[in-house]
Amino acid sequence: MVCAPSWVCVLAMFPRVSVILPLHPLCHFPLCSGGSEAAIVLLSAPHGTVRTKNNVQRNFGTISVNYSKKDEQSAPTHGISKEAESQESVKENTKKDLLDIIKGMKIELSTVNVQTTKPSSRRQGKSVEATIGSLQKTLEDAPKKRTKSVSPELEAAASAVADFLHFDKQTSKSELLRQLQQHEEVSKAQKDGERTKISVSNIISDMKVAKSATGRVSTRPVHQIQFDKGTDSFMGQKTDDLKKSLRKNMLKGKRLNIFDLKTVTEEAPETETAPSLWEVEFAKQLAMVNEQPLQNGFAEMIQWTKEGKLWEFPVNNEAGFDDDGSEFHEHVFLDKHLKDFPKQGPIRHFMELVTCGLSKNPYLSVKQKIEHIEWFRNYFNEKQDILKESGIRLN
Amino acid sequence: MAAVAARRWLRFRCKVCLTLTGQRAGPCGQVPNCRFYSGSATVPKVEGPNVTGIEEVVIPKKKTWDKVAVLQALASTVNRDTTAAPYAFQDDPYLIPTSSLESRSFLLAKKSGENAAKYIINSHPKYFQKDIAEPHIPCLMPEYFEPQIEDVSEAALRERIKLKKVKASVDMFDQLLQAGTTVSLETSNSLLDLLCYYGDKEPSTDYHFQQSEKSEELEEAAEENNEKSKKANHQFGNLWRPKNNAERIFALMPEKNSHSYCTMIRGMVKHRALVQALNLYTELLNNRLHADVYTFNALIEATALSAREKPEDKWNNILELLKQMAAQKVKPNLQTFNTILKCLRRFHAFGKMPALQTFREMKAIGIEPSLATYHYLIQLFYYHENHSKGSSLIIYDIMNELTGRKFSPRDPDDDMFFQSAMRVCSFLRDLELAYQVHGLLNTGDNWKFIGPDHRRNFYYSKFFSLLCLMEQIDVTLKWYKDLIPSVFFPRSQTLIDLLQALDVANRLEVIPQIWKDSKEYGHTFHNDLKEEILMLMARDQHPPELQVAFADCAADIKSTYESQDGRQAAPEWPANSLNSIAVLFLRAGRTQEAWKMLGLFKKHNKIPGNKLLNEFMDSAKASSSPAQAIEIVKLAGAFSLPICEDLARRVMANFAISQEQKEALGNLTSLTSDSDSDSDTSEDK
């Protein structure tokens, strides 16, 4: 099963929206019935609203923080949910994090070696072979056939751009096409290699966190410690007095007077070193301290989720899709990256087609998409003199 | 549930709103779900035309939930089912454990099944390559434990260290040395880590189950018996052998940093080479290096464990180490103080004052004590349970300090606290304190610190026994219903405590139910319990309905004795039980069976009690059957009981008996009074 992220579906929803939305003034293209042309219109259409939305989004961002705090308080079962508790203090938070990681590590730690060594290399090798194979095939084929894998619309657009560059028409067309093709191959390879990438990177990122969190000594100023002034309401009145008179407060009295509060609490520069075996094993031991048999079926599902055996809630088609937390609009609305390109003309047309294609691609990360656009920017900049000759203005 | 649904709805709504313009956010805001964002000044308002008195709600761009947030919310709605076994035991009804022994073997069986599967997968990875899951599930795939790098290189060494192959790493190190390659300091250090942690032995397979069960108990026993060396060997698996690979490699290392020394010291202490550890520390100081806090912790342990010194000297040595720490500007951590307190337990009475000072020091420099800290204090102050006079009251201070707090694990011994606190409650006989401890256990996620199975059983047994002793019977029975069997399976002693509580409160009618439960929890063959039940039931006269119920119960218990006959070669029928069962049958009017019981007395060579014979006589009188009465007298005669004459007199007085019978009776009494024995009586028969 291919899990295309949900923003691809959002894209599919657009044709209906387009009826309502006013056409963007910059869109000169007539509405075609099919494919990318329509999509381009739709993509470029909400230009005007995007900016206002950005403002709102910023507010949203700040609010969401408040939300999470509110939710914690209003959650009827505070304390049972681990999350709520862990957010209460940073100290606890890091500790929990560490524990979670270590719980995870118990299973995954040994997988690291495995994944990084044999199977991954094999698998990557396979995918590399596949790419090489396809590359060789395309190289062997006639140059006409080479463009086969690129969609005909894009090909047409590429040749349109190339047409404007009178000089060396064929090479520029093929250059553009090769880039497109390469892009496609990368996405294909990533589609294949996705699994390995995910598992390895997950584990590695987990381990990084564990490193920074170990060995931090919690510090709290003395004056925050509150003494209970012995209100023993639970004891009978007589025994209460008796016990009080007998009792020495365990908090009051001589101390060793060896350590100084100042030296202990002062922040030492934390040196980033890999956790040694001692620390890892100690953390494992700690994780085992409050290991208890599961209390109910949901707890079991939580455990399975943490082990990666269960689809994560909420169940959607983005499972296992991790793109540094970027959201669907960053994948779909790529027009904002076209600011430096001319507002109209064949290059604009070409780039809009490129962004359209990119916005539909579920296998590239946002970063790769931007890099791809960047490549075109550089390309056109390099060819500036040719463009000038043919009367096309860049910038 | 509703809240979760609302949140999900909200989230969906937000996505929709995003595709609309900012203007449309207004109507969305007037949703009744205001409690998620009630009016706080920090919420920035969105300027818009439709701000109408009602607080504007700003829909977040996207609300991201933790992947388990939904499940956690759901899990928090599920309470413990007091009528069922814990969730972990729910399985095929036939397999659900009903006693602590069974529950343990259930868990062990489950775990060992998992381990066996894992073992097979890991030892034959090539058969388990098919990855059917999408998205990929790494934890279901075989793990590779074999090193992949074949050649002799530092990378290969690092790989072997990472895979915790002790011997292979050492071999690789030697090969590298022979080839003349120098191994980097970092790699040598991690090799030392490996060797020191595992004491130059291959680590045991990581398939642990709940920790090594009796390590702590063993340790305590060792402390008591002063047979440290023997038991320590047991506990720590392997001791530090002089001239082992760690020492050899340490000596071979061209340059050593403090890490190399520290890990060596820690390894030596861990594997009980205490003198070497202390010597190495001097060497470290001579090389003008500094030890880290973990090493100091180990050294403190070494100082405290070292033999043939007086507690005072040891304590002074520990103080000396702490002063060195302060001088070297090494910050102590929780483990430092916990180690000190743990070691002070060994000093018994001497340790009390230093322990308090240590505790205050720790508080004073702002290190929050963990549950383990309090556990050590409790252990130190309540070492001798029988010292009821003048026992310490520190537990009240501790509980005052802890009540309402929530804990996260910070020390491996954190899970010992509740057990030892409850032990003290039970020994102080302070029910209120026990409730306080139990309340703390049920604060937040603290219940997770109750520890493995045996500790949980200990805790609840103590708690419940205390309840039986101190609490009103109705409340006790409520606790009984609540805790058993969903939290723990009672031991027979626990049930006997409950029976005694029932006796005190005069609620004996519950006994048949208790017997049913104890059968359920695997105490069918527990003689103490059965005798206690029978004794309580037979002691007094009760209303007829109750007597019927008791007789049923007695018949049931009788059947367990009989089925036991089949199981064991030497059946043991205690005389008391026989007496009680017979009495119960008699009182319930099951005369036939009662007479059969009398037969059993003979069979098992037990002597019926006077009370029982009198009751038989009463029943014979009630049914006005002189034959039975004479039979009783005969029986008493057969056992040559002194009561025989009394019985005969009663028969004479109360029954209309024939001349023959009278003669027989006269014979019996005279014979018994002559204390002439069985042969004649048997002739009579």
- Dist CA B193 CA A281 (whole Å): 11
Residue in A with minimal Cα distance to B335: A217
Q: Would you call B76 and A293 a contact, using CB atoms and an 8 Å cutoff? A: no
Kindly report, residue by residue over B22-62, the tens digit of the pLDDT.
Answer: 333 333 333 343 333 333 334 344 444 454 567 788 888 77
Q: Would you call B62 and A300 a contact, using CB atoms and an 8 Å cutoff? A: no
pLDDT value at B91 more than 50: yes
The answer to whether the CB of B376 falls within 8 A of the CB of B338 is yes
Q: Tell me which chain A residues have a C-beta less than 8 angstroms from the C-beta of B80.
A: 295
Kindly report, residue by residue over B145-160, the tens digit of the pLDDT.
Answer: 788 888 888 899 999 9
What percentage of chain B exceeds 90 in pLDDT? 31
pLDDT confidence of residue A15 = 40
Q: Would you call B409 and A96 a contact, using CB atoms and an 8 Å cutoff? A: no
Q: Tell me which chain A residues have a C-beta less than 8 angstroms from the C-beta of B8.
A: 314
Kindly state the average pLDDT of the residues B259-266: 93
Q: Provide the pLDDT confidence category of residue B264 given band limits of 50, 70 and 90.
A: very high
pLDDT value at B610 more than 60: yes
> For A101-106, which contacts have Cβ atoms below 8 Å and span 24 or more sequence positions?
A101/A206, A101/A207, A101/A209, A101/A210, A101/A213, A102/A210, A102/A280, A102/A283, A102/A284, A102/A286, A102/A287, A103/A287, A103/A306, A104/A206, A104/A306, A104/A307, A105/A206, A105/A207, A105/A210, A105/A280, A105/A284, A106/A284, A106/A287, A106/B206
Q: Is A72 helix (H, G, I), strand (E, B) or coil?
A: helix
Task: Give the number of other CB atoms < 10 A from CB of residue B288.
Answer: 7
**Listed range (A19-23, A125-129, A193-197, B449-453) with the worst mean pLDDT:** A19-23
pLDDT confidence of residue B172 = 92
Closest CA to B523 of B494, B545, B497: B494
pTM of the model as a whole:
0.67
Residue in B with minimal Cα distance to A7: B15
pLDDT value at B682 more than 50: no
- Dist CA A373 CA A348 (whole Å): 12
Interface mutation vs chain B, best among A6, A100, A313, A322, most B CBs within 10 Å = A313
Residue in A with minimal Cα distance to B369: A218
Q: Provide the pLDDT confidence category of residue B8 given band limits of 50, 70 and 90.
A: very low
Cα distances (angstroms) measured from residue B487 to each of A90, B100, B481, B581: 33, 11, 10, 33
198-257 in chain A: CB under 8 A from chain B: 198-199, 203, 217-222, 225, 228, 230-232, 234-235, 243, 246-247, 249-257
Interface mutation vs chain B, best among A67, A218, A259, most B CBs within 10 Å = A259
The answer to whether the CB of B179 falls within 8 A of the CB of B204 is no
pLDDT value at A178 more than 60: yes
Closest CA to B327 of A95, A263, A143, A320: A263
Measured between CB atoms, which of A17, A63, A232 is closest to B43? A63
Q: Would you call B137 and A301 a contact, using CB atoms and an 8 Å cutoff? A: no
Q: Tell me which chain A residues have a C-beta less than 8 angstroms from the C-beta of B331.
A: 217, 263-264, 268
Q: Would you call B408 and A218 a contact, using CB atoms and an 8 Å cutoff? A: no
CA-based nearest distance A388→chain B, Å: 40
pLDDT value at A104 more than 80: no
Measured between CB atoms, which of A67, A74, A256 is closest to B60? A67
The answer to whether the CB of B625 falls within 8 A of the CB of B591 is no
The DSSP 8-state label assigned to residue B137 in this structure reads: -
More confident: A170 or B42: A170
More confident: B477 or A314: B477
**Listed range (A199-208, B373-382, B433-442) with the worst mean pLDDT:** A199-208
Contact residues for B176 (Cβ-Cβ < 8 A; gap 6+): B152, B153, B154, B157, B183
Interface mutation vs chain B, best among A55, A276, A312, most B CBs within 10 Å = A276
Kindly state the average pLDDT of the residues B485-495: 89
Task: Give the number of other CB atoms < 10 A from CB of residue B62.
Answer: 16
Radius of gyration of chain B (CA): 37
Q: Would you call A83 and B144 a contact, using CB atoms and an 8 Å cutoff? A: no
Interface mutation vs chain B, best among A277, A318, A322, most B CBs within 10 Å = A277
The answer to whether the CB of B557 falls within 8 A of the CB of B587 is no
- Dist CA B112 CA B118 (whole Å): 10
pLDDT confidence of residue A352 = 92
Kindly state the average pLDDT of the residues A140-156: 52
Measured between CB atoms, which of B143, B162, B406 is closest to A111? B143
Q: Provide the pLDDT confidence category of residue A269 given band limits of 50, 70 and 90.
A: low
pLDDT confidence of residue A22 = 41
Instruction: Tell whether B368 is within 8 A of chain A (Cβ).
Output: yes
pLDDT confidence of residue A92 = 55
Kindly state the average pLDDT of the residues B174-202: 89
Q: Which two tokens mark B15?
A: 């996505």
CA-based nearest distance A144→chain B, Å: 37
Measured between CB atoms, which of A80, A290, A300 is closest to B409? A290
Radius of gyration of chain A (CA): 30
**B216-245: string of b/e by CB count within 10 Å (b at 16+)?**
beebeebeeeeebeebbeebeeeebeeebb
Q: Would you call B71 and A258 a contact, using CB atoms and an 8 Å cutoff? A: no
Contact residues for B123 (Cβ-Cβ < 8 A; gap 6+): none
Give the largest Cα separation in chain A, rounded: 107
The answer to whether the CB of B560 falls within 8 A of the CB of B524 is yes
Q: What is the dihedral of CA B169, B171, B172, B175, to 10 degrees?
A: 160
Q: Tell me which chain A residues have a C-beta less than 8 angstroms from the C-beta of B144.
A: 110, 113-114, 117-119
**What length does chain B have?**
685
Angle at B110 between CA B106 and CA B115, to 5 degrees: 145
38-97 in chain A: CB under 8 A from chain B: 49, 52-53, 55-57, 59-64, 66-67, 70-71, 74-77, 79-83, 85, 92, 95-96
Instruction: Tell whether A337 is within 8 A of chain B (Cβ).
Output: no
Instruction: Tell whether B121 is within 8 A of chain A (Cβ).
Output: no
Measured between CB atoms, which of A117, A313, A320 is closest to B135? A320
CA-based nearest distance A312→chain B, Å: 6
The count of CB pairs under 8 A between chains A and B is: 319
Residue B614 backbone dihedrals phi, psi, to 5 degrees: -60, -40
CA-based nearest distance A336→chain B, Å: 17
Closest CA to B97 of A172, A293, A116: A293
pLDDT value at B502 more than 70: yes
pLDDT confidence of residue B280 = 92
pLDDT confidence of residue B522 = 83
Kindly report, residue by residue over B405-441, the tens digit of the pLDDT.
Answer: 999 999 999 999 999 999 999 988 899 999 999 999 9
Q: Would you call B78 and A297 a contact, using CB atoms and an 8 Å cutoff? A: yes
Q: Would you call B406 and A70 a contact, using CB atoms and an 8 Å cutoff? A: no
For residue B135, whether the previous peptide bond is cis, meaning omega lies within 30 degrees of 0, is yes
Q: Tell me which chain B residues have a C-beta less than 8 angstroms from the C-beta of A83.
A: 66, 68-69, 72
Measured between CB atoms, which of A118, A285, A309 is closest to B139? A309
Write down the ipTM of this complex: 0.77
Instruction: Tell whether B404 is within 8 A of chain A (Cβ).
Output: no
**Listed range (A107-121, A327-341, B461-475) with the worst mean pLDDT:** A107-121
Q: Provide the pLDDT confidence category of residue A71 given band limits of 50, 70 and 90.
A: very low
Measured between CB atoms, which of A256, A278, A307 is closest to B197? A278
Amino acid at B350: F
Q: Would you call B398 and A230 a contact, using CB atoms and an 8 Å cutoff? A: no
Q: Bin A235: left if φ > 0, else alpha if -120 < ψ < 50, else beta.
A: beta
CA-based nearest distance B250→chain A, Å: 17
Closest CA to A278 of B239, B247, B413, B264: B264
Q: Tell me which chain B residues have a C-beta less than 8 angstroms from the C-beta of A61.
A: 60-61
Report chain B's mean pLDDT, rounded to a whole number.
80
Q: Which two tokens mark A140?
A: 């062997």
Q: Provide the pLDDT confidence category of residue A289 given band limits of 50, 70 and 90.
A: confident
Q: Provide the pLDDT confidence category of residue B308 given band limits of 50, 70 and 90.
A: confident
Q: Tell me which chain A residues have a C-beta less than 8 angstroms from the C-beta of B409.
A: 99, 286-287, 289-290
Task: Give the number of other CB atoms < 10 A from CB of residue B522.
Answer: 19
Kindly report, residue by residue over B512-532, the tens digit of the pLDDT.
Answer: 999 999 988 888 888 889 989
Q: Is B183 helix (H, G, I), strand (E, B) or coil?
A: coil
CA-based nearest distance B221→chain A, Å: 22
The answer to whether the CB of B583 falls within 8 A of the CB of B591 is no
517-536 in chain B: CB under 8 A from chain A: none
Closest CA to B631 of B643, B620, B642: B620
Task: Give the number of other CB atoms < 10 A from CB of residue B514.
Answer: 23
Q: Would you call B447 and A111 a contact, using CB atoms and an 8 Å cutoff? A: no
Measured between CB atoms, which of B74, B139, B397 is closest to A250? B397
Q: Would you call B162 and A80 a contact, using CB atoms and an 8 Å cutoff? A: no
pLDDT value at B64 more than 80: no
First to last CA, chain A: 44
